[in-house]
Amino acid sequence: MASTNRIIELSSLIARETALINDFLVKNNLPTPSLDADALQSIPIPDSATDIEAARTAVIEACSELKALMTGPKELLRFKWTAYASVKAILRFKLDRSFPVGESTSFEAMSKFSGLSEMNVRRLVRHAIINHRFFQENAPGVITHSALTAILSRDDMARNLLVVELDEFWPAGVKMADALERWPNSEECNETGFSLANNSKKSMYDIFAENPSRGERFGQYFAQPGNVDDGIFDNYPWGDKQTMVDVGGSYGSVAIGIAERFPNMMCFVQDLPDTVVEGASRVPAELQKRITFMAHDFFTPQPLSVDVYFFRSIFHNWADKYCVKILQNLVPALKPGAVIIIHERVLPSFDSMDTVDARRAINLDVGMLQLLNAQQREIHEWPELFRRADPRFHYLGAHQPAGAMRWIITAEWRG
pLDDT score, position 352: 77
Mean pLDDT of 299-307: 98
244 HSE (CA, 13 A, CB side): 29
Residue 399 CA: distances (Å) to CA of 236, 358, 383 = 10, 15, 13
Quick check: 339 and 410 in contact, CB under 8 A? Answer: yes
Q: What is the full DSSP assignment across 51-117?
A: HHHHHHHHHHHHHHHHHHHHH-HHHHT---TTTTHHHHHHHHTTGGGSS-TTSEE-HHHHHHHHSS-
2 pLDDT above the threshold of 80: no
pLDDT score, position 412: 98
Strands of the 104-105 sheet, one edge to the other: 104-105, 142-144, 136-139
Catalytic residue among 145, 296, 316, 343: 316
3-state secondary structure 223-250: CCCCCCCCCCCCCCCHHHCCEEEEECCC
pLDDT score, position 110: 98
pLDDT score, position 403: 82
pLDDT tens digits for 310-338?
999 999 999 999 999 999 999 999 999 99
Strands of the 393-399 sheet, one edge to the other: 291-295, 266-271, 243-247, 308-312, 339-344, 407-413, 393-399
Residue 343 a catalytic site member:
no
pLDDT score, position 5: 92
**Alpha-carbon span 185 to 179, nearest angstrom:** 10
Question: To the nearest whole percent, how much of the chain has pLDDT over 90?
Answer: 87
136 pLDDT above the threshold of 60: yes
Dihedral angle over CA of 132, 133, 134, 136, nearest 10: 150
232 pLDDT above the threshold of 90: yes
225 pLDDT above the threshold of 70: no
Mean pLDDT of 115-144: 97
Quick check: 208 and 233 in contact, CB under 8 A? Answer: no
